[in-house]
Amino acid sequence: MQLFLFILRRLIYSIIVIIGLSLLIFLIARIVPGDPARMALGANAPQWLIEKYHEEMNLDKPIAVQYGLWLRGALRGEFGNSLYTKRKVIEDIGEFLPATVELVLFSGLIMGIGGVLLGMLSAKFNDSWVDNIIRVFSYMGVVTPSFVFAIIFMLIFGYLWPILPAMGRLSRGIAAPEPVTGMIVLDSLLKGNFPAFWNALKHMVMPAFTLALGGLSQEARITRSSIVDNISKDYVLSHQSYGIPGPSIWFRFLLKPSLIPTVSVFGLDFAVLFANAFLVEMVFNWPGLSRYGINVMLQKDLNAISAVILVLGVIFVVMNIIADIVISALDPRIRLGMAKGE
Amino acid sequence: MTKRLYLSLIAVLFMLIAVLTPVAVMAGKGGGDKEQKAVETPTAQPVAEKLVRFTAVWPPESLDPCCGQDTASSILYANVYDSLVFPTAEGTVEPSLAESWNVTPDGLSYTFNIRKGVKFHNGDELNAEDVVFSMERILTMGEGYAYLFEPVVDTIVQDDDYTVTITMKKPFGPFLKALVNLYILNKDEVLAHIESEGSFGELGDYGKSWLLTHDAGSGPYMVREMKLAEHCIADRFDGYWQPFDANNPDSFTLVGTNEPVTVRTLMGNRELEITDQWQSSENYKAMDDIEGVDIAYFPSGSILAIQLHNRKPPTDDVHVRRALAYAMDYGSVIQALYPGSTQPVGPVSVVFHDHKKDLHQYKTNIDMAKEELSKSKYYGKLDKYPVDVCWPAEWVAADKIGLLFQASAAKIGVTVNIAKRPWAKMIADISNQDTTPHANILTVSPHYGDAGSNLSRYHSSSSSTWEQTEWLQDPEIDAMISDALATVDAAAREAKYYALQEKLDEMAPSIWLVDVTQRHAYQAAYLDWAPASTGMVIPVQGYKRYMRHIKVYPDRVPE
């Protein structure tokens, strides 16, 4: 019940946040100077055509009316047409979002599992050469922008030792599976299309690792320091004095509280992957929503910009709620706080 | 506790499903194109068949030849559709779908005899009705290349199954050259795919949605797969009315990317045959070092210029403009950014045969610059009139040009303030005479293969767009441009172009910096790319990558 109320409260807050976000992005997208119709149609487009586009996009109406019309459409999943692809924005999102979701899920998996494992390893061998190597690696991972990793991976595994494909989601000649989720790796598994699965997986490796490395390093550092902090606490010492075996202490008593900061940061990092994905998608020519978002921003494609930011905003909010729930499951103090409505 | 943990995990799972279900539903709907199943990219494919894969800075926008005018779309139109006439490297046109034509002496009526036996990709025969439909459609829609026809074409009528007559509102000398951009659609196929919801009355959306990803053409290649914002794959059309060379590509793939590392990697792996023209000099050099890869240089017809505001002090004074033109360091711009390009001689590119070769050229000469400046009404008080120079912030390379302009102007005592802006902001600023900066660094490309295209941007009708930030607003120039463009006789038109070039050169409305040469890295070892190997370059957008002018030899691929 406490958990239900907590989720309900967070959902209500989230709806308020998303409405606020929608207003903000709507206004910002329109305050930015430049006529989107002129940009899309070219310098020589006749004035009557520009005006026709203004009318179709409701740009000839007062800003409050524009927002009302946009919000009404958005609630029905209609964001209007894109000036960039010249089709409905919702169709663009339906096509490009699964590619980004797939990439981010794989990156998240690598980031979460890899980060926790490296953090545990580093804490286990605290101040040893293993710890030092992992810490140096983690610092490098945190400070290096993902596009640098992209270039390095591309040059090594795409060019010098070409074992991985350099771009896209599938090789030419490999038939894609019938779309179920739009995520090719998953769809090819669901359809039992193993050549496509293997090919899509190979395409996934470089972009997913590139995207994951920054977060992975962050998670490793946080997990390590959290475990190192907790390992000297009284409850661990008392468990040791009862003669409970080391692995049990680690996995039953130490890891759970130590993962709270990791999960908290992971939730944010996972959502940030969507934003960071654009550079990786550009370099690896990954046809995802983040790359689409950058292209529509460059073309001041108002409908598409608003929709992309709104979708990313919703994902961010949902990820935060998920992180909160997981943390509450891990930490009884937070559950207690929930009960008190704190 | 365990129960709560399970409940929480179930809640997490539920929320993940809540997020992913709409995605799955949308994807299940096919993401807009229900028939499009295959997702292919040109990676990791050995060059076994005769493939040509090339990149473009933007992905193709649409297969509708009445919509797009960008480079990628133009390449597709040239290969997938036919037009009435075909452009030549000499800057003229030759028969294509039109076997022959007659023009009345006043230039107000064109009668075209349409070739018989031409098949569309779906097997339908092309006839005059399709030509009429295509012209009417582009005029009605007003998009893409419509601006070439809308001001001049009055009516188009079908005389019989294989004859059409176009009546003009006014004579337009380069009309035949402009017709290269009128691509003929299969009327029946387009009408069969109209969606009722649209802004064209009973014609619904006029087939726009369907043509985004499908072709209705008769050109040498037919589209197999078009992924918007990604790539397009097309195969040789065996029913084409002209013969293919045995080594013409079986298929081609256009990929929308210009990421330097990606492009270089693909070239090194022989997964890409021709690059886009927007790579850095360093990347071209790196690719040139790959065995079997060469760099091709083509004149593009585009002129990179610093457009000077002719109605704002101090650049409203011709002597200030000339002084800045003399002060500019052209050599450094070309050396640093456009190796292989040349300094323009006047406003028209050398690629056009009616370019006036013996025109006076503003070469770097500080003494001449100072002399011109001394004749200016602003001489001695230029410190009160700083010059703002602007360029699109997204165009990083232009930073060097802006700084060179600043340094060059400083040599003659003119203060230049850097004011680069995002493209969207720049467009907003230059739409108004008062907010247009003094100097704007921009490249303007020709719309058709004729000097008139380079010159017509100086007409007042182009003011307020990025094609003319000079705000020339000169009635004499307007009259000269209108008169030249209305002249049907090629020799007479050329003479008028010459006069116009002289006049503009004297006025120095812009600093013509670079007659832009495009650079492409290409697989010279196994690709015979006619424009590169013979130097016969068709000066029309899209035709440098016309696949019938390319031959592929897979057996020559270097190990």
CATH code: domain of residue A282? 1.10.3720.10
Given CB atoms, is B11 within the 8 Å cutoff of chain A?
A: yes
Q: Is B7 domain-assigned?
A: no
Verify that B71 and B101 share a domain, yes or no.
Answer: no
Please indicate whether, in this complex, the C-beta atoms of A150 and B261 are within 8 angstroms of each other: yes
Q: Indicate the Cα dihedral angle A259, A260, A261, A262, nearest 10°.
A: 40
Query: Which candidate from A155, A166, A184 shows the least CB-CB separation from B266?
Result: A166
Please indicate whether, in this complex, the C-beta atoms of B1 and A284 are within 8 angstroms of each other: no
Q: Is A59 domain-assigned?
A: no
Q: What's B494's domain CATH number?
A: 3.10.105.10
- Give the highest mean pLDDT range of A174-178, B18-22, B332-336: B332-336
pLDDT of residue A167: 87
Give A 113-142 residues with CB within 8 A of chain B.
none
Query: How many degrees, rounded to 5, is the angle at CA B32 between CA B30 and CA B36?
Result: 55
Residue B39 pLDDT level (bands cut at 50, 70, 90): very low
Tell me which H or E stretch contains B53.
strand B51-56
Query: How many degrees, rounded to 5, is the angle at CA A239 between CA A233 and CA A240?
Result: 90
Q: Indicate the Cα dihedral angle B181, B184, B189, B192, nearest 10°.
A: 60
Q: Is A240 domain-assigned?
A: yes
Please indicate whether, in this complex, the C-beta atoms of A43 and B467 are within 8 angstroms of each other: yes
Q: Is B498 domain-assigned?
A: yes
Mean pLDDT, residues B437-461: 92
pLDDT of residue B29: 40
How many other CB atoms are there within 10 angstroms of residue A225's CB atom? 17
Mean pLDDT, residues B30-55: 54
Q: Is A164 domain-assigned?
A: yes
Mean pLDDT, residues A321-332: 78
* pLDDT at B17 > cutoff 50: no
Verify that B369 and B479 share a domain, yes or no.
Answer: yes
Of A199-203, A272-276, B490-494, the poorest mean pLDDT is in A272-276
* pLDDT at B42 > cutoff 60: no
**Interface pTM (ipTM) of the complex?**
0.81
Mean pLDDT, residues B156-184: 96
- Give which of A87, A161, A317 to mutate to test B binding, by max B Cβ within 10 Å: A87
Give A 77-106 residues with CB within 8 A of chain B.
84-88, 90-98, 101
Verify that B437 and B498 share a domain, yes or no.
Answer: yes
CA dist B200 and B202 (Å) reads 6
pLDDT of residue A338: 58
Would you call B125 helix, strand, or coil by DSSP?
strand
Note the pLDDT tens digit of each residue in B270-326: 999 999 988 988 899 999 999 999 999 988 889 999 999 999 999 999 999 999 999
Dihedral of alpha carbons A328, A334, A339, A342, sign: negative
Between B43 and B292, the higher pLDDT residue: B292
CA dist B484 and B480 (Å) reads 6
Verify that B489 and B376 share a domain, yes or no.
Answer: yes
For residue A296, the chain B residue with the least C-alpha distance is B229
**Taking CB atoms and an 8 Å cutoff, what residues of chain B touch A168?**
40-43
- Give which of B69, B230, B273, B470 to mutate to test A binding, by max A Cβ within 10 Å: B230
Would you call B56 helix, strand, or coil by DSSP?
strand
Q: Is B2 domain-assigned?
A: no
Verify that B436 and B529 share a domain, yes or no.
Answer: no
pLDDT of residue B14: 45
The order of strands in the sheet holding B153-160 is: B98-103, B109-114, B163-168, B153-160
Q: Is B393 domain-assigned?
A: yes
Mean pLDDT, residues B261-275: 93
- Residue type at A289? L
Q: What's B146's domain CATH number?
A: 3.90.76.10
Contact between residue B103 and residue B166 where contact means Cβ atoms under 8 Å apart: no
Given CB atoms, is B13 within the 8 Å cutoff of chain A?
A: no
Please indicate whether, in this complex, the C-beta atoms of A315 and B227 are within 8 angstroms of each other: no
* Rounded percentage of chain B residues whose pLDDT exceeds 70: 91
* pLDDT at A159 > cutoff 60: yes
Task: Provide the residue range defining the domain that includes A278.
Answer: 89-339
Measure in Å the smallest separation between the Cα of A219 and chain B Cα atoms.
20
* pLDDT at B27 > cutoff 50: no
Mean pLDDT, residues B335-348: 92
**Mean pLDDT estimate for chain B:** 89
Q: DSSP alpha helices (H): ranges in A232-301?
A: 234-241, 246-248, 255-283, 289-298
Dihedral of alpha carbons B74, B78, B80, B84, sign: positive
Note the pLDDT tens digit of each residue in A283-298: 898 999 998 998 888 8
Given CB atoms, is A158 within the 8 Å cutoff of chain B?
A: yes
Dihedral of alpha carbons A337, A340, B3, B6, sign: negative
Query: Which candidate from A84, A97, A285 shows the least CB-CB separation from B262?
Result: A285
CA dist B231 and B254 (Å) reads 5
Query: Which candidate from A34, A285, A326 shows the least CB-CB separation from B8?
Result: A326
Residue B30 pLDDT level (bands cut at 50, 70, 90): very low
Q: Is B21 domain-assigned?
A: no
Beta strands in A87-179 (DSSP E): none
Mean pLDDT, residues B498-510: 97
Phi, psi of B383 (to 5 degrees): -65, -20
Give me the half-sphere count of Cα atoms (radius 13 Å) on the Cβ side of residue B86. Answer: 20
Verify that B60 and B110 share a domain, yes or no.
Answer: no
Q: Is A48 domain-assigned?
A: no
> What's the structural domain count of chain A?
1
For residue B209, the chain A residue with the least C-alpha distance is A87
Say if residue B386 is preceded by a cis peptide, omega within 30 of 0.
no
Q: Residues with Cβ < 8 Å from B200, sequence gap 6 or more?
A: B140, B141, B206
- Give the highest mean pLDDT range of A143-157, A315-329, B355-369: B355-369
Task: Provide the residue range defining the domain that includes B242.
Answer: 31-81+219-292+524-559
Please indicate whether, in this complex, the C-beta atoms of A325 and B264 are within 8 angstroms of each other: no
Cα Dmax for chain B? 95
CA dist B89 and B450 (Å) reads 12
Question: In 3D, which of B420, B311, B454, B319 has the Cα closest to residue B375?
Answer: B319
Verify that B225 and B158 share a domain, yes or no.
Answer: no
Give A 289-328 residues with CB within 8 A of chain B.
291-292, 295, 298, 300, 315, 318, 321-322, 325-326, 328
**Taking CB atoms and an 8 Å cutoff, what residues of chain A touch B39?**
169-170, 176, 184
Given CB atoms, is A28 within the 8 Å cutoff of chain B?
A: no
**Taking CB atoms and an 8 Å cutoff, what residues of chain A touch B71?**
none
Of the residues B205, B238, B257, the one at which a domain ends: B205
Beta strands in B408-547 (DSSP E): 416-418, 439-444, 510-523, 527-529
pLDDT of residue B2: 43
Query: How many degrees, rounded to 5, is the angle at CA B116 between CA B112 and CA B122?
Result: 115
Please indicate whether, in this complex, the C-beta atoms of A182 and B425 are within 8 angstroms of each other: no
CA dist B137 and B147 (Å) reads 13
CA dist A85 and A94 (Å) reads 13
**N-term to C-term CA, chain A:** 15
Verify that B277 and B316 share a domain, yes or no.
Answer: no
Q: Is B434 domain-assigned?
A: yes
Contact between residue A190 and residue A180 where contact means Cβ atoms under 8 Å apart: yes
CA dist B120 and B126 (Å) reads 6
Q: Residues with Cβ < 8 Å from A128, sequence gap 6 or more?
A: none
pLDDT of residue B438: 96
pLDDT of residue B48: 57
How many other CB atoms are there within 10 angstroms of residue A236's CB atom? 18
How many other CB atoms are there within 10 angstroms of residue A198's CB atom? 13
Would you call B163 helix, strand, or coil by DSSP?
strand
**Taking CB atoms and an 8 Å cutoff, what residues of chain B touch A338?**
none
Contact between residue B339 and residue B296 where contact means Cβ atoms under 8 Å apart: no
Cα Dmax for chain A? 85
Q: Residues with Cβ < 8 Å from A55, sequence gap 6 or more?
A: none
For residue A312, the chain B residue with the least C-alpha distance is B19
pLDDT of residue A341: 53
Give B 373-392 residues with CB within 8 A of chain A.
none
Note the pLDDT tens digit of each residue in A225-240: 999 999 888 888 888 8
Please indicate whether, in this complex, the C-beta atoms of B62 and A35 are within 8 angstroms of each other: no
**Taking CB atoms and an 8 Å cutoff, what residues of chain B touch A90?**
26
Please indicate whether, in this complex, the C-beta atoms of A43 and B465 are within 8 angstroms of each other: yes
Mean pLDDT, residues B362-381: 95
- Count Cβ–Cβ pairs < 8 Å, chain A vs chain B: 230
**Mean pLDDT estimate for chain A:** 87
Tell me which H or E stretch contains B299.
strand B293-308
Mean pLDDT, residues A148-152: 90
Mean pLDDT, residues B200-217: 93
* Rounded percentage of chain A residues whose pLDDT exceeds 70: 97
Mean pLDDT, residues B20-38: 38
**Taking CB atoms and an 8 Å cutoff, what residues of chain B touch A97?**
23, 26-27
Query: Which candidate from A155, A182, A326 shows the least CB-CB separation from B24?
Result: A182
Its pTM stands at 0.84
* pLDDT at A177 > cutoff 50: yes
Mean pLDDT, residues B425-431: 88
Alpha-carbon distance values, B367 to A163, B324, B326, B327, B415 (Å) = 60, 12, 9, 9, 18
Give the length of chain A: 342
Q: Is A154 domain-assigned?
A: yes
Please indicate whether, in this complex, the C-beta atoms of A43 and B431 are within 8 angstroms of each other: no
Residue A1 pLDDT level (bands cut at 50, 70, 90): low
Verify that B146 and B47 share a domain, yes or no.
Answer: no
Please indicate whether, in this complex, the C-beta atoms of A154 and B428 are within 8 angstroms of each other: no
Mean pLDDT, residues A121-127: 91
Given CB atoms, is A71 within the 8 Å cutoff of chain B?
A: no
> What's the structural domain count of chain B?
3
Helix A255-283 vs helix A194-231: crossing angle, to nearest 10: 140
In sequence order, the β-bridge partners of residue B168 are B153
Residue A335 pLDDT level (bands cut at 50, 70, 90): low
SS3 content of chain B, % helix, strand, coil (to 5): 35, 20, 45
